[in-house]
Amino acid sequence: MDLAENVIVVTGAASGIGAAMAQRFADEAPELLVLADVNTDGLAAVAASMPHGTQVWPVRLDVSGEAQVRTLVDDVFERAGRLDLYCSNAGVATGAGVDADDSVWERTWSVNVMGSVYAARALLAHATPERRSRLLVTASAAGLLTNLGDAPYSVTKHGAVALAEWLAIHHHDDGLDVSLLCPQGVRTPMVTDGLAAAGPGAVAAGVVESLGLIEPAACADAVAEGLADDRFLILPHPEVADYAAARARDPQRWIAGMRRLLARLSAAPNP
């Protein structure tokens, strides 16, 4: 996929991976870059940072509302006549366990999974084999493996992975291409601030430290490279492929190893 002169939507664009992708895509001289987020202050700052001459359209968007997602997609098609790339990147973490309140589970599900469901529905309403759109789903290595200290996040990211795979199989002939982004650890507010603050002390802090954090710009570079290759699975941390293979080869051993890691992190002193 050549990003030059494309019409691109990035959700969760006010910070972290979304902001970095917006900056990286702007370097490719897109025709229109639509930046969407619930954080309007952050969105305005990111929009203002785009290179001179970039056509930027900042939009307040809560991806958990299907009507909002459908309206945005319809408006982009009306304005530009096409939508080449929709990055379903908005996400939330909780630091909660299985005993989290139902409202936490529902909110995490509505953003991390249904946001991409709504995007797919909206894109499919316009896509044809001759006028294709690509949906990039930002999941996580947690969706291929698991995430210590955050049950709702891990479960919903597994759901996002399953959804992306299903869409890639069932709707390719309808004009929808799909890519799946699964970074392991990126130095974003969600990871360094939100997860560590919300999680159970040393466990969350230890998980963050063990992720091998990369900068958002490095993640965005991996995305651009993966899209250029029309790749389904984009792994900014290549080692995740080895971890996933080990997990599939011997699930019992994998779970035992994760239990040992959890015990070690739980025994560590709180930061």
Residue-wise pLDDT for 180-235, tens only, equals 999 998 888 776 665 444 444 444 555 555 557 899 999 999 999 999 999 999 99
Residue that wins the pLDDT comparison between 191 and 239: 239
- Burial group, residue 248, by CB count within 10 angstroms (0-12, 13-18, 19+): exposed
Partners of 119 in the β-ladder: none
User: What proportion of the chain, given as a percentage, has pLDDT over 70?
Assistant: 90
Class assignment of domain 7-267?
alpha beta
Q: Where are the domains of the chain?
A: 7-267
Q: Which amino acid is at 202?
A: A
What is the pTM assigned to this prediction? 0.92
Span 71-80, average pLDDT: 98
Partners of 34 in the β-ladder: 9, 57
Complete edge-to-edge strand list for the sheet that includes strand 7-11: 56-60, 32-37, 7-11, 85-88, 133-138, 176-181, 233-234
Alpha carbons 112 and 122: distance in angstroms, whole number: 17
Partners of 88 in the β-ladder: 137
Span 122-138, average pLDDT: 97
For the record, the structure tokens of 189 come out as: 């507010």
pLDDT band at 18 (very low <50, low <70, confident <90, very high): very high
| pLDDT at 264 (0 to 100) | 87
